[in-house]
């Protein structure tokens, strides 16, 4: 038989688990530049090659760019090497 005491203890345990998960795992959001015709996987690999700390992000937002913006990004990346 389920008692009010058991329900109360289970409820408290669930609350504690929720608090732990919210405190220890903030969501990581990453913005990745991507050309209109570029495959998503290629854009992600290019981004992660420059910023490996972004791997494992919870949310990836693609910022679509035209060919000129992508060319500018490529020339800026090469000049900083």
**pLDDT, tens digit, 9 for 90 and up, residues 20-78:** 666 666 788 999 999 999 999 999 999 999 999 999 888 999 999 988 887 776 666 65
- 7-33: b or e for each residue (b if 16 or more CB lie within 10 Å)? eeeeeeeeeeeeeeeeeeeeeeebebe
* Statement: residue 9 has pLDDT above 60: yes
Domain boundary assignment for the chain: 27-81
pLDDT at residue number 80? 52
């Amino acid at each position: 038989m389920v008692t009010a005491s058991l329900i109360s203890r289970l409820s408290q345990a669930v609350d504690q688990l929720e608090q732990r998960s919210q405190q220890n795992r903030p969501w990581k959001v990453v913005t990745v530049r991507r050309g209109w015709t570029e495959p998503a996987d290629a854009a992600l690999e290019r981004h992660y090659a420059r910023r490996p700390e972004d791997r494992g992000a919870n949310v990836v937002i693609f910022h679509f760019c035209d060919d000129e913006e992508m060319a500018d990004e490529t020339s800026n990346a090469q000049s900083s090497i």
